[in-house]
Amino acid sequence: MSENVMTLQVITPAGMVYDHHASYITARTTNGEIGILPNMISTIAGLEIDELKVRRPDDETHVDYIAVNGGIIEIKDSLVTIVADSAERNRDIDVSRAERAKIRAEKALEAAKAEKKTDEIKRAQVALHRALNRLNVSSHK
């Protein structure tokens, strides 16, 4: 493999979501945004609910977007592995389903706030963040 190429694998309990070469990856960790290049220092970090941007080596103008709902990223040599509860490529996102999830989460958040139920507020906020992330990533089609 070339010195300027790495492999990215995104894995969920449902299986492999993404397995391609990349020249550059951007991810949001729990400590902030990280840019990843081939042969980077070994790293393990927690991931936030956010989009993953993958620049492919075969076409520098092409970027793959993946909605990642938290998880862990491991960078070792030129292999980047992400293990997440769920992840979807932008082309695979069902936009109407994501919009319905957003509406459900907004209603749940309103109800939880009205009843001042802290745990339910947190759950609804996470569900809303996931739905908004999926909608954002789907807009990159």
Same domain flag for 26 and 85 = yes
98, 113, 115, 124, 135 from 110: Cα distances, Å = 18, 5, 9, 9, 20
User: Which CATH number do you get for residue 72?
Assistant: 2.60.15.10
Q: Record the pTM.
A: 0.89
Beta pairing partners, 20? 8
Residue 1 lies in a domain: no
Q: In this predicted model, what pLDDT tens digit does every residue of 86-127 receive, in sequence order?
A: 999 999 999 999 999 999 999 999 998 998 888 998 999 999
Q: 134 and 86 share a domain?
A: no
Residues 121 and 75 reside in one and the same domain: no
What is the Cα–Cα distance from 15 to 52, expressed in whole angstroms? 18
Asked if residue 71 is part of any domain, the answer here is yes
Q: Which residues contact 94 (CB under 8 A, 6 or more apart)?
A: none
How confident is the model over 21-63, as pLDDT tens digits?
999 999 999 999 999 999 999 999 999 999 999 999 888 788 9
Give the number of domains in the chain: 2
Helix axes 118-138, 95-114, angle to 10 degrees: 160
Are 18 and 57 part of one and the same domain?
Answer: yes
C-alpha distances out from residue 91 to 15, 16, 51, 101, 111, Å: 17, 15, 13, 18, 33
Identify the three-state secondary structure at position 90. helix
